[in-house]
Chain A
Amino acid sequence: MTTRKILDIDFSRIDTDRMRLNVGPQHPSTHGVLRLEVELDGEVVTNVIPHIGYLHRCFEKIAENMNYQQVIPYVDRMDYISSMNNELPYVIAVEKLLGLKVPEKVEYIRVIMAELNRIANHQIAIATFGLDAGAFTPFLYLFRDREYILWIFEKATGGRLLFNYFWVGGLANDVYPTFKEDVLNIVKQVRKTNKDIEELLIYNKIFIDRTANIGVLPADVAINYGCSGPMLRGSGVPFDLRKAEPYSIYDRFDFEIPVGKGEVGTVGDCWDRNIVRMREIEQSCRIIEQAIAQMPDTGDVQSAIPKKVRPPKGEVYFRCENPKGELGFYIISDGKDKPYRVKGRAPSFVNLSVLPEISRGYLFADLIVILGSIDIVLGEIDR
């Protein structure tokens, strides 16, 4: 396989000036309010400097001024595409501080909701990645399906995007009676669309040409930069927190960790990162099916919610496998009912920092594809 890196050309023979181009902060393909300062040599990217902070919403300061349950809505708003997955590490971290055990049924509902939201997140990721590469149709199909998932969320929680559903010690309310059937129907629908998308997008010749061998991220660089989630797995490292350190009840399910194998290009290119997301949707479907089968019908989802959340002095760092990578919360409690310090270790924040490394030497049009393949959310980067 030939790589597309073309920086090896002897540029000294060609008389060009380096040009600085500003992309963003308001630009349709920067996935939010990211600003990139791109240094170009002709059309070849020689350096990228990301400027972030255009959505800095002071999450950490606000968390110090709210009590533990009140922080949850703000946690939702960090990664607003997969809110359920955001709430999970936060509530588990606080439960760990409290030494609390939640009922069986709560665990199952949490896992089902988190996996559904993972599917929704990956659908957006693939859709917008397709948009970046110039494919509009998959966007429409994937958003149609995502809407079905949102309907379930809406029925169960009342919100379409930001739920405030997982509480410390339990859930805001029980799921509705036909929840199980609805979820199974969704799983069927998701699988069907996945097949369509594979034909429409993934194995499309143009798409492969745009994404294979682009933005190659070697595994050692990925680890050193702290990348996680599909970024790391796309580079061939089978690391998934759900398997490595099973939290909640993930050790009861049977699923695989998809990794990038370089099917159409090099290991760790944009196509690999995308296919990992595709395959993860399938694995999430499997987890959901198993969870639905095992889920107990009875049980009070609010029985363990403490009247007042006041953890003892101490600190905890807890991390979960967010769709985008490892989302960790570092919480310090000083024995009062407000956290002393909450730090969110956002996966996108760390994943984005590798962008200059993997985009040097590619064409400018490839930069947009590389950025799309990282799947960032600015609310989480800037917090």
Chain B
Amino acid sequence: MGLLDRLDNPYETGGIILGTLEDILNWGRSKSDWYLHFGLACCAIEFMSMNASHFDFMRFGIIPRATPRQADFIMITGTVTLKMAERIKVLWEQMAEPKYCISVGSCANSGGPYWQYGYHVLKGVDRIIPVHVYVPGCPPRPEAMEEGMMKLQSLIDRQAIFRKREKLAENENLIKSNKM
């Protein structure tokens, strides 16, 4: 994962680590994500235990923010109803780029147990905002949320900052040739 591997043994090279500026920026970004907590339903209670003693979410360098302006990513934890959906859209639009979204729980992913007769439930938050990581479960265990968080971190680690277009094309080639 770029910089981190080299950090493992910095003294081998005399204390000097060589890497691209992009690596350093991404490393910093992925290790200090601030999130906009969007607790909606039962999943939010599991998310509360994440923040508490046993699971200690903050060791990922993650701090809850109450405002979208300071947040790097948004965690949609719970059932999105139609009445709520428009507010989520507004909040998402208020967040500053670069921004990410983790959808936690079956409800946010696809409507969950309410997919069939829930006339007032939005069947998946990805119908209104883009989602980067899906965490399945009803409710997902806190470990699953941590896993989702790590997935997001590795996604940020790999992100292109300079020469975006070329990198994207490269990535696409890689995907096409099944190397990723």
Contacts and interface: CB of A to CB of B under 8 A. Distances in A.
B54 A143 contact: yes
Interface in A88-135: 124
Contact of A74 (B83, B113, B121, B139): B113
Interface string B108-119: 000001101111
A245 interface: no
B48 interface: yes
Interface string B125-141: 00000000000001101
B40 A58 contact: no
21 contacts: A27-B66, A28-B37, A28-B66, A54-B83, A55-B40, A55-B78, A56-B81, A56-B83, A57-B81, A57-B118, A58-B114, A58-B117, A58-B118, A61-B119, A124-B45, A139-B52, A143-B49, A143-B54, A144-B53, A161-B139, A162-B42
Contact of B81 (A55, A124, A150): A55
A4 to B, nearest CB: 27
Nearest to A28: B66
Interface of B: 37-42, 44-46, 48-49, 52-54, 64, 66, 78-79, 81, 83-84, 87, 91, 113-114, 116-121, 138-139, 141
A290 to B, nearest CB: 29
B40 A33 contact: yes
Contacts of B79: 55, 57
Contacts of B64: 28
A331 interface: no
B91 A160 contact: no
Interface string A45-71: 000000001111110011001000000
A368 to B, nearest CB: 13
* Most chain B CB within a 10 A radius of its CB, from A27, A57, A81: A57
B91 A26 contact: yes
Given A55-B79, A58-B114, A80-B41, A140 B53 contact: yes
Nearest to A65: B117
In the A-B complex, the 3 residue pairs with the smallest Cβ-Cβ separation, listed nearest first, are A143-B52, A80-B42, A144-B53
Interface residues of A, number: 34
Given A33-B84, A77-B41, A379-B41, 20 more contacts: A28-B37, A33-B39, A33-B40, A53-B83, A54-B84, A55-B41, A55-B78, A56-B81, A57-B118, A57-B120, A58-B119, A61-B119, A74-B113, A77-B113, A80-B45, A81-B45, A143-B53, A147-B54, A161-B45, A161-B46
A31 to B, nearest CB: 9
Interface string A153-168: 0000000111000000
Interface string A79-91: 0110000000000
Contacts of B139: 160-162
B155 to A, nearest CB: 25
A161 B119 contact: no
Contact of B42 (A33, A141, A144, A379): A379
A124 B45 CA distance: 9
B31 to A, nearest CB: 23
A62 B39 CA distance: 23
Contacts of A58: 114, 117-121
Given A33-B40, A74-B113, A143-B53, A62 B45 contact: no
Contacts of B138: 162
A57 B122 CA distance: 10
A144 B78 CA distance: 23
A26 B94 CA distance: 14
A61 B119 CA distance: 9
A136 B41 CA distance: 22
A146 interface: yes
